[in-house]
Structure 1
Amino acid sequence: MAKVPAAYQATKGSILDVDKAFYDRLTAANTERTLLETVTVPMRDGQAWVVPAGHVFRIKVTEGPQVGDFNMWNLHNPRERMWASRTRQLQRAHVSTYDRLWSTLPYLRPMATIIDDSLADYGVDEDGGRVHDLLGTRCDPYVNRLLTGEDFDFHCHSNLVRAVQPYGLTELDVHDVLNVFQCTGLNDDDQYFMKACPAQKGDYLEFFAEIDLLCAMSCCPGGDLSIDLWGPEARDPLETCNPLDVEIYAVEPALLADWSSPQPAPYKGNHGMHLQRVDWPALKKACC
């Protein structure tokens, strides 16, 4: 089968043309970092954390295989948040090193760049599965009610809702996710499938914060997804659930000397709309 080129392609010098050497210097300089904080996301729960621009954060498997459902917002403006579908188009459906997570319109800029991935060599398995999924989204209590007729309050959507509530965000701010460590693909019927998480203790996915970020993650109640959540073989996968850690690092300032935080998309048009200036004196005279 001939390889069809991507629809969205980088031109030299564009924001899609990633400076790999810069990000390589960040990962090669692991000893030139300062660990600022370690956040533990408990099993079947959610947690939020803040990462300043120019810092690094690492999502890490600490006990056993576990999928994490990840959300991200501009710390100062939660209307700007991660846009999973555009990231799929600009990057790929399963992300890894040098891929960027993009924000929603009208901002459309990289929020974070993946700089290291211990599962980068997983590639494509015999079923077409790949890791770090943007194809699917979070499990939620609404679809669970539709499928099972039962209520369950600890799906990823609910975990994320609880995690961001202390920051003044609500359920309406929770959005489509990056499924960290999750192995997924499309079957021969073009249907979404999930496989058991291949991550093991010590595996990680590492990001560079391009802007000030509020992040949140849920430890999926499906654990490593080796047990069906729905269908005839479904049972409670509690035994497969584990926590995840997030490590937040400051890097040496010298490494950031030539870096600047990306600005929102420069489009300044009015979407073809031309607003008519109101002649207030004439309007007042006509009315009065």
Structure 2
Amino acid sequence: MTKVPAAYQANQGSVLDVDRDFYSRLRDPADRERIAQHVVPLRDGLAWSVPAGHVLRLSTLHGPQVGDFNLWHRHNPRERFWASRTRQLQRAHVSTFDRLWSTLPYLRPMATIIADTLEGYGVDDDGGRVHDLLGTRCDPYVNKLLTGEDFDHHCHSNLVRAVAPFGLTEFDVHDVLNVFQCTGLNDDDQYFMKACPAREGDYIEFFAEIDLLCALSCCPGGDLSMDLWGPDAQDPLSTCQPIGVEVFRLSPERLSGWESPGYAPYRGGHGMRGPAVDWAEEKRRGSPGGR
């Protein structure tokens, strides 16, 4: 069968062309210093900052566990991770050298994946792949609709609690990157989830292209090896594990020549009369749209 090309095709030399040699060199443990370390407790959430030019590692500390990941520009939370556009520009399941993109009107790489110990998982016999952008966070609203019960520790709720100290609310929580999660589409084009293939010590690393506020929920579904809804549903508490967070500062020599990406260069007015917003000028004046 002929392979259908991707819908979004870029010209040579566009921002989609990643310098793989540069990002590969950022993995060298001799050129980094750990400056922060956290643990996201099981069935809970945590938020933290990552400065531009630093590396973030998320790891399965004690065994398989999936997590729901959100990102914002640290100084302007209107700019946040855009899961659907990332899915179109990169893949539905991301790994090394894929980038996480921000929302309009900013549209720039927020982070680049530089390492992934599960990269070799590939595609399993059911079509499952790891680190997905197909689904989104579990939430108490869907749970109430499906089961008639209240539960306050879904990933959406965990993220809401995690970002509250940073002045954000439920309206700021958005569609996620499901790290360590194995998913796909079945023959009826329906979303499925499989048991997490991660083992103790597996990790995924991100290079922060801009100053980031990150939040992660340790999913109450644990490793997703048990049914969460339907007649066979059971409490998967026994499969829940914490997730580790580490932030590393890189040596200045390693970042030589790197610059934080600017906003998308579109300067038009969407066909409307009047001056278009000049993002360069907004940034210079230090408005909420700048960094």
1:93-144 deviation per Cα after TM superposition (whole angstroms, max 9, x unaligned)? 0000000000000000000000000000000000000000100000000000
**Contact 2:69 2:214 (C-alpha < 8 Å) held by counterparts:** yes
- Secondary structure of the 1:89 match is helix
Partner of 2:203: 204
Is contact 1:101–1:113 with CA below 8 Å preserved after alignment?
Answer: yes
1:44-99 C-alpha deviation (Å, 9 max, x unpaired): 00000100000000000101110000000000000000000000000000000000
Match of 2:96 in 1: 97
| 2:35 and 2:247 in contact (8 A); partners too | yes
User: What residue in structure 2 maps to residue 85 of structure 1?
Assistant: 84
State how far apart, in whole Å, the 2-side matches of 1:168 and 1:9 are.
38
Instruction: Show the counterpart of 2:227.
Output: 228
Match of 2:44 in 1: 45
Corresponding residue of 2:256: 257
| 1:231-246 equivalences in 2 (<5 Å) | 231-246=230-245
Q: Which residue of 2 aligns with 1:158?
A: 157
TM-score, normalising length: structure 2: 0.94
- Alignment partners' CA distance in 1, 2:247 and 2:8: 32
Matches within 5 A, 1:110-189: 110-189=109-188
Query: Which aligned runs of 4 or more in structure 1 are off by greater than 6 angstroms?
Result: none
* Deviation (angstroms), 1:30: 1.5
What secondary structure, in the 3-state scheme, does the structure 1 residue paired with 2:178 have? strand
CA distance in 2, matches of 1:149, 1:11: 51
Residue aligning to 1:283: none
Q: Which piece of structure 1 moves more, 9-18 or 126-135? A: 9-18
| Superimposed CA distance per residue, residues 145-183 of structure 1 (whole angstroms, 9 cap, x where no aligned partner) | 000000000000000000000000000000000000000
1:8 Cα deviation from its structure 2 partner: 1.2
Q: 1:65 corresponds to which letter in structure 2?
A: P
Tell me the equivalent position of 2:280.
Answer: none
Deviation at 1:229, TM superposition (A): 0.6
Name the SS for the 1:172 alignment partner: helix
What count of residue pairs does the alignment treat as equivalent? 275
Question: Helix, strand or coil: the match of 2:120?
Answer: coil
Deviation string for 1:240-275 (max 9, x for gaps)?
A: 000000110001110111100000101111000003
Determine the C-alpha separation between the residues in 1 that align with 2:174 and 2:58: 19
CA separation in 2, counterparts of 1:275 and 1:97? Answer: 43
Asked whether the 8 Å contact 2:55–2:206 carries over to 1, the reply is yes
C-alpha displacement of 1:32: 1.3
Q: 2:33 is matched with which residue?
A: 34
Does the aligned pair in 1 maintain the 2:41–2:242 contact within 8 Å? yes
Alignment check: 8 A CA contact 1:11 1:17 kept: no
Name the SS of the counterpart of 2:143 in structure 1. Answer: helix
* Amino acid in structure 1 at the alignment position of 2:74: L
Partners of 1:242 and 1:103 lie apart in 2 by 29
Contact 2:31 2:254 in 1 (8 A): no
Q: Report % sequence identity.
A: 74
TM superposition shift of 1:9: 2.2
SS in structure 1 opposite 2:107?
coil
Q: Which amino acid aligns with 1:188?
A: D
Q: Show structure 2 runs of 5+ residues with no match.
A: 276-291
What SS does the aligned partner of 2:33 have?
Answer: strand
Corresponding position of 1:13:
13
Question: Separation in 2 of the partners of 1:105 and 1:235?
Answer: 40
Secondary structure in 2 matching 1:211: coil
- 1:6-34: CA deviations, max 9, x gaps? 1112322110011111101111x222110
Code of the residue aligned with 2:191 in structure 1: it is Y
**C-alpha contact (below 8 Å) 2:50/2:214 kept by paired residues:** yes
Residue 262 of structure 2 is aligned to residue 271 of structure 1: no
1:279 counterpart residue number: none
Are the equivalent residues in 2 in contact too, given 1:71–1:178 (CA < 8 A)?
yes
Contiguous gaps of at least 5 residues in structure 1: 277-288
- Residue matched to 1:4: 4
